[in-house]
A = this chain, B = another copy of it.
Amino acid sequence: MTTEVKPQAAVAELMDGIGRAARGAAQALALSSSAERNRALQCIATRIRASSVDILAANKADLGAARQQGLGHAMLDRLMLDANRLDVIAAGVDAIAAMPDPIGRVISQWQRPNGLAIQRISVPLGVIGIIYESRPNVTIDAAALCLKSANAAILRGGSESFRSNTALHACVRAGLSDAGINVAAVQLVPTTDRDAVGYLLSSMSRWLDVVVPRGGKGLIRRVQEDARVPVIGHLDGICHVYLHTAAEVGMARDITVNAKMRRTGICGAAETLLVDRANADTILPPVANALLEAGCELRGDAAVCAIVPQATLASEADWATEYLDAVISIRIVDDIEQAMQHIRQFGSAHTECIVTEDQAAADRFCREVDSAIVLHNASTQFADGGEFGMGAEIGIATGRVHARGPVGAAQLTSYKYVVHGCGQVRG
């Protein structure tokens, strides 16, 4: 494993070389055909399937090292690959290949009174830097989405998944090469030296058009602090399920358990349950029991603890915590107003859900709650590009600029205006 720390100058030389090559690859990609890029994606999927033994061996080595370092269950789950997950990853690449081309699309067009015909046409962003943590599937998802949208990618994964990422990236290189595309179109930073991230963020604006961080708070904070290029931010998901007075009990139970427990380590997992005071006595016991049966720890306010004896008292910090684990905080609220106030105060503007049979309450919640995704009567775990029909996602953006919510290939584009005239001059 190559975790050597490089001297500063060597890092700069390495990274500038990567950046220069990426810029060149991006210029060629921007003019490539949809068929060429889709063929490269298919070649990558084929290479992943053919290399599963190598990839899983590399992943096993990463997992062993991670266990030795004492990484927690949620982290190990994020890091782990098996034959099934690898199949899903390869199928995801094929699915992206089968999607419509997001580039060269006439987004809108109109004619001006003076005869100018204006077209707004989608174009690639250029070179995208993706900085991520433990999930090795991001290596492939990000590579495939960038390639689909004709962007060059510079990938920088977490050190704990370095072996897995290197094995997966070898498949990308081989697939690009099979399809006759410049392998610099998708590069993996070949060192775990942290200085490489600093250099990428602060000193590569010549080569880099945007950075997409995907990971925990510490990473995001660092990127936002240090980046001298635009960031498509992915922050933490403190997602709420709100059980309104008019919630149907069975639906409330099923949605809450799914939102929290289907997979606890993803950003769309619910972290806080809000329950209207008016029906807390009837709705909370069955919901709490179902959560307990599913193995979830409950932390509630005093009113919750009075109804649910198994709940421990939540501290103020609980409301602002993204557990990413089998723990949920529960609070009784007076009404929809207080529920929305709680979400405004403690939420991360990622994904929230209201469970209610009252359409007016649902409409108000959907209109007034200012989160990237607001769901009515559906689990927060649907906060996912695949579930939205985008094929795959690079993450869920919680910033307000450029893209918000699932970031798929179509969100990794810019646009330009093409204007046809017949000699018009401005008066």
Binary interface encoding of chain A residues 397-413 relative to chain B, with 1 for a CB under 8 A from any of its CBs, else 0: 00111101100000000
> Do A404 and B400 touch (CB < 8 A)?
no
Given A379-B426, A416-B370, A421-B375 in contact, is the A228-B224 Cβ separation under 8 Å? yes
Chain B CB within 8 A of A177 CB: no
> Do A424 and B378 touch (CB < 8 A)?
yes
Given A230-B231, A415-B404 in contact, is the A376-B420 Cβ separation under 8 Å? yes
| CA gap between A384 and B367 in the complex, in Å | 33
- Residues from chain B with a CB closer than 8 A to the CB of A382 are 116, 419, 421, 424, 426
Binary interface encoding of chain A residues 357-384 relative to chain B, with 1 for a CB under 8 A from any of its CBs, else 0: 0000010001110111111111101101
How many copies of this chain does one complex carry? 2
Chain B CB within 8 A of A294 CB: no
Given A116-B382, A399-B230, A401-B232 in contact, is the A262-B421 Cβ separation under 8 Å? no
- Residues from chain B with a CB closer than 8 A to the CB of A368 are 31
- Residues from chain B with a CB closer than 8 A to the CB of A379 are 424-426
Nearest-neighbor residue (CB-CB) of A402 within chain B:
B402
Chain B binder among A65-73, A250-258, A273-281, A325-333: A250-258
Query: Contacting A373 at CB < 8 Å: which of B30, B388, B399, B417?
Result: B417
Chain B CB within 8 A of A57 CB: no
In the complex, how many angstroms separate the beta carbon of A369 from the nearest chain B beta carbon?
9
Binary interface encoding of chain A residues 224-235 relative to chain B, with 1 for a CB under 8 A from any of its CBs, else 0: 110010111000
Chain B CB within 8 A of A422 CB: yes
Nearest-neighbor residue (CB-CB) of A125 within chain B:
B400
- Residues from chain B with a CB closer than 8 A to the CB of A405 are 415-417
> Do B125 and A377 touch (CB < 8 A)?
no
Query: Contacting A421 at CB < 8 Å: which of B376, B389, B399, B425?
Result: B376
A95-126: which have CB < 8 Å to B?
110, 112, 116, 118, 123, 125-126
| CA gap between A142 and B254 in the complex, in Å | 48
Given A232-B401, A258-B425, A387-B112 in contact, is the A374-B417 Cβ separation under 8 Å? yes
- Residues from chain B with a CB closer than 8 A to the CB of A387 are 112, 116, 426
| CA gap between A95 and B354 in the complex, in Å | 39
Select the residue from A30, A257, A420 with max chain B CB neighbours within 10 A.
Answer: A420
Chain B CB within 8 A of A423 CB: yes
- Residues from chain B with a CB closer than 8 A to the CB of A318 are none
Query: Contacting A374 at CB < 8 Å: which of B231, B416, B423, B426?
Result: B416
> Do B416 and A371 touch (CB < 8 A)?
yes
Instruction: Name 23 interchain pairs, CB-CB below 8 A, sorted by A.
Output: A112-B387, A112-B388, A118-B388, A118-B389, A209-B400, A209-B401, A210-B400, A230-B230, A254-B425, A255-B425, A262-B425, A371-B416, A372-B416, A375-B421, A376-B419, A377-B421, A377-B424, A378-B419, A378-B421, A382-B421, A382-B426, A400-B414, A405-B415
Closest 4 CB pairs of A and B: A378-B421, A258-B425, A230-B401, A400-B414
Residues of A within 8 A of B (CB): 30-31, 110, 112, 116, 118, 123, 125-126, 205, 209-210, 224-225, 228, 230-232, 248, 251, 254-255, 257-259, 262, 362, 366-368, 370-379, 381-382, 384, 387-389, 399-402, 404-405, 414-426
- 19 extra A-B contacts, CB within 8 A, seeds A366-B418, A378-B422, A405-B415: A118-B388, A118-B389, A209-B400, A209-B401, A210-B401, A251-B423, A372-B417, A373-B417, A374-B416, A376-B420, A377-B420, A377-B422, A377-B424, A378-B419, A378-B421, A382-B426, A387-B426, A401-B414, A405-B416
